Amino acid sequence: MAILEIKCPACKASIWVDQSTGKVVDHKSADQQKVSLDSFLKAQQEKSGKWDQKMVKAKDDVARRKQELEERFKQAREHPEDLKGDVESPFKWD
């Protein structure tokens, strides 16, 4: 009876298979490292800080775009002759 040991490259678990029958003889799950609560909380705070930074940046980007649009609309209202291209009336049906 020849036994073949197979190790999973992803989870590092091992199984032993009987080559003649193809049945699993034994298995051993990989020892997973336990994460301490302090390190878990620290990692979560870092992730939270990154998300907060992204949200602040997105909010600033929206405010900047809104300001740019307001400036363009104000300029268009004050100087409609500076608009490029033909602007047709939406009420022109013919």
User: Over the stretch 30-49, which tens digit does the pLDDT of each residue have?
Assistant: 776 777 888 889 989 999 88
Name the residue ranges covered by the structural domains of the chain.
Answer: 1-31, 37-80
pLDDT of residue 55: 94
Cβ(4)–Cβ(17) below 8 Å: yes
* 22 Rama class: left (phi>0) / alpha (psi -120 to 50) / beta: left
CA distance 37 to 67: 45
| Residue 30 to residues 3, 4, 36, Cα–Cα distance (Å) | 19, 17, 18
CA distance 25 to 3: 8
Nearest of 76, 74, 71 to residue 85 by alpha carbon: 76
Confidence band of 59 (pLDDT split at 50, 70, 90): very high
More confident residue, 87 or 3: 3
| Token pair recorded at residue 85 | 């291209």
Q: What mean pLDDT do residues 9-27 have?
A: 87
Lowest mean pLDDT among 49-53, 76-80, 86-90: 86-90
Q: What's the whole-model pTM score?
A: 0.44
